[in-house]
Amino acid sequence: MNNDHISNQIRRLRFDHGEMTQQTLADKAGVTRQTIIAIEAGKYSPSLPLAFRIARAFHTSVENVFQYHDGEVQVPSDAAKPAP
């Protein structure tokens, strides 16, 4: 069974950007409000170009908007660094 999942921070980012509406984000990304609703709710995974357009609307990276989870335990990147 495939446990892949993509989560997102769109709702939080919209709030952090002056309570941006879903329609405003949709206009900036060039999609419908219904598409933003589905992505934000985790019911639809955007194409890579759309993911970049959404990230650009927030002036951030794709990784700050979307997180990929493959069912494996995630280790924070700084946890792998040896102590000085």
3-state class (DSSP) for residue 32: coil
- Is 39 within the bounds of a domain? yes
Instruction: Give whole-number Cα distances, 55 to 20, 75, 83, 84, in Å.
Output: 14, 24, 33, 34
Could you tell me if residue 15 is inside a domain?
Answer: yes
pTM of the model: 0.78
Q: Are 10 and 54 in contact (CB under 8 A)?
A: yes
Q: From 42, 38, 47, select the one nearest 4 (Cα to Cα).
A: 42
Determine contact, residues 66/6, Cβ cutoff 8 Å: yes
What pLDDT sits at residue 17?
A: 96
- 71: Cβ contacts below 8 Å, ≥ 6 apart: 2, 3, 4, 5
In a domain, 50, yes or no: yes
Q: Is residue 17 part of a domain?
A: yes
Task: Write the pLDDT tens digit of every residue in 26-84.
Answer: 999 999 999 999 999 999 999 999 999 999 999 999 999 999 988 765 555 554 444 55
Number of domains in the chain: 1
User: What local confidence, expressed as pLDDT, does residue 81 receive?
Assistant: 47
* Residue-number span of the structural domain to which 30 is assigned: 5-72
| pLDDT score at 27 | 98
Here the CATH number for the domain that contains residue 55 is 1.10.260.40
Higher pLDDT among residues 1 and 68, named by residue = 68
